[in-house]
Copies of this chain bind each other. A is one copy, B any other.
């Protein structure tokens, strides 16, 4: 319950940053989905650290092994275990981290809650846990293909610190062409220098990421606590360092009038069409058939070179400087994680929909 998400397609992640391994136990997988380790590895490689100077230099092979639930290249309908061994558990002196609390880290809350914590690399609160989500997302993508082909899930960065993208310049072709997964080529150029400066000065910066699900059928989601936007918001908020989640207009909806926010409806060749998408593709918690648009913020990592005030376990005042292999903008690596979470949620709702309603949308128009 605590480390699990999903209604039917249920993903339970396990593992710590510096334990022997981590992974995802995935239940509710439809049978007969063609899958192999390479297909999942593809997505893990996108998330893998150490690929350029802007992501942590920790070197992890991040090789996934499928330990169960797949026979002769197909899912069997039984639980799929996706395991990633931790290879770079380099010996390190954790005594300072074990004694002092790092501002902005979960170490103080884990300590206060459990009375015990694994100080090695953040333990369970480390962003390494997200590798398991990416693996599960890779499996979800293949199941989606089998059930609802034509769905595309794209994530990209829309802001790094003070620099946002120009919405008019969004070009999905650009996403893979820069180290920031941004669809705005000019933003990429600006960000390169900006982040280089931050990195050199030992600083860090926040980011904003957007995920779009294109081609999802109308009718996914359900009142009240299985709303599609509720589940997407929870999925994104559960990612490390996320502090805000938006659907469509998001927080900006507070500023609009009803006239400004209206998405007028007309009849297109394949069904209803909308003049705009302020709703982000979801009305009343149920998908409209438009692009589903989710956006979230990632806070700057608290691992910076500027000394900060803190306390020790025994309550003494102290200063702390976080050295080591850290990302100046952790938001970059959140992009493939967010795509994976979106894939898991969409698959789950495809299954939940056919559970309750049967296959495909029920109501017809025209």
Contact = CB atoms under 8 A, between A and B. Distances in A.
A332 to B, nearest CB: 12
B31 A356 contact: yes
Nearest to A109: B286
Contacts of A28: 1-2, 355-356
A353 B30 CA distance: 10
B366 A314 contact: yes
Contacts of A79: 2-3, 12-15
B253 A244 contact: yes
A170 interface: no
A283 interface: yes
Given A237-B233, A355-B354, A108 B265 contact: yes
B1 A8 contact: yes
A232 to B, nearest CB: 8
B263 A103 contact: yes
A288 B311 CA distance: 14
B224 A2 contact: yes
Interface stretch (A46-54, A183-191, A202-210): A202-210
Given A2-B226, A79-B14, A283-B105, A30 B256 contact: no
Contact of A250 (B220, B229, B244, B317): B244
B71 A267 contact: no
Nearest to A20: B67
A110 B16 CA distance: 35
Among A71, A109, A161, A361, max chain B CB count under 10 A is at: A109
A307 B303 CA distance: 53
A106 B285 contact: yes
4 nearest interchain CB pairs?
A106-B284, A315-B366, A115-B362, A355-B355
Given A31-B116, A71-B117, A314-B365, 11 more contacts: A2-B222, A14-B25, A14-B81, A103-B265, A113-B353, A208-B254, A243-B249, A261-B300, A266-B311, A267-B316, A313-B365
Contacts of A205: 256-258
Contacts of A3: 27, 78-79, 223-226
B256 A77 contact: no
Interface string A57-86: 000000001011101001111111101000
